[in-house]
Structure 1
Amino acid sequence: MIRVLASVALLLGTGAVAQVTPAPTRVADRAALVRLRGNTGLSLQWISWAPRARGTVRVLERSGVVHLSGRQAAPGAGTLTLDGDVLAIDARDFSFRGRIVITDAPDLGRACVRDGTYSFRATGTRRYWRLQQMEQCDGLTDYVDIYF
């Protein structure tokens, strides 16, 4: 025990950062996870809602952790990126921890960087999950949608 504590103290003293393994994604609804795996892209309303202009979302799973990496971009319309882990998913909602970045949308020079935990929800008969924390930068409402 003393050796373990001494090793931890040595690591902390050198400025080394221990890697924390994320907890596996809590899956309350398997069908929702299947929909997320088979998603048909993402969009930000400032860039485009048109199906042919949607960005892509890549879903990777490692050690039970569902990871999302996505991007939508259009010349002159800006860029949306997201990267992070799904903490939990149920029939209509999932929680996401990571980074969402909007640049040059709706205006050239705008940069909205969000780091944290966010909720995506599919309401009614909608065929997409929408980011619930819509107003975070500049007082603008950003509709970030992931389609299924």
Structure 2
Amino acid sequence: MQKIKRLLFLCVILMGSIATYAQQTKEPAPFVLREGKHNLTLQWVSWNQPGKAVIKKKKDGTYSIQGEQRGADNAGFVTIDGVLKVVSAKELEFEGTIRTKDNSINGGEVCEKKGTYHFLAKGARKYWRLQEMENCEGNNVVDYVDIFF
């Protein structure tokens, strides 16, 4: 009887170890972006009146994004048009065009960025922020382009 109890005890330990190992080796599910309208902001335009960006999943697993925020006077704006690739829940890779404009910077001219850029959500933030944020003016002027969850 003692041998059977020991054998059962070893089986329980072994089964628990196998279950723990299976859970540890399981890869996490990939992060999925919420499709639909997301708030989009540029600090020069407004923090309180966000624009909208529409995100749609594509067949290849990437997402299209297109949107804009315009100021009340229609002089300042941000537009975004391109493709997002999910790197993680906190990081997005963007390829496309981002245009910003505010009369008080860059001589009032449009700052256009074309290419590959990165958006990160740091800490407890509820948005991804463009990391290549230097405005075309230079001189440490930055554009905070944010896409909200």
- State TM-score, norm by structure 2: 0.70
Unaligned segments of structure 1, at least 5 residues? 1-27
- 2:38, 2:55 within 8 Å by CA — same for their partners in 1? no
How many residue pairs end up in the alignment? Answer: 116
1:56 pairs with 2:55: no
Write the letter of the residue equivalent to 2:80.
L
> How much has 1:70 moved relative to structure 2?
1.0
Show the counterpart of 1:95.
Answer: 93
> How much has 1:88 moved relative to structure 2?
3.2
Show the counterpart of 1:30.
Answer: 31
1:48-79 deviation digits (Å, cap 9, x = unpaired): 011xx100011122322310001000133501
Show the counterpart of 2:134.
Answer: 135
Is the radius of gyration larger for structure 1 or structure 2? Answer: 2
1:85 pairs with 2:83: yes
> How much has 1:105 moved relative to structure 2?
4.6
Write the letter of the residue equivalent to 1:146.
I
Query: Higher relative contact order at CA 8 Å, sep ≥6: structure 1 or structure 2?
Result: 1
Show the counterpart of 1:74.
Answer: 71
CA distance in 2, matches of 1:40, 1:93: 16
Report the secondary structure of 1:30's partner residue.
coil
Write the letter of the residue equivalent to 1:128.
Y
- 2:66, 2:80 within 8 Å by CA — same for their partners in 1? yes
> How much has 1:91 moved relative to structure 2?
1.6
Show the counterpart of 2:124.
Answer: 125
1:144 pairs with 2:114: no
1:113 pairs with 2:115: no
- 2:44, 2:102 within 8 Å by CA — same for their partners in 1? no
- 1:47, 1:78 within 8 Å by CA — same for their partners in 2? yes
Unaligned segments of structure 2, at least 5 residues? 1-28
Identity of aligned residues (%): 40
- 1:39, 1:147 within 8 Å by CA — same for their partners in 2? no
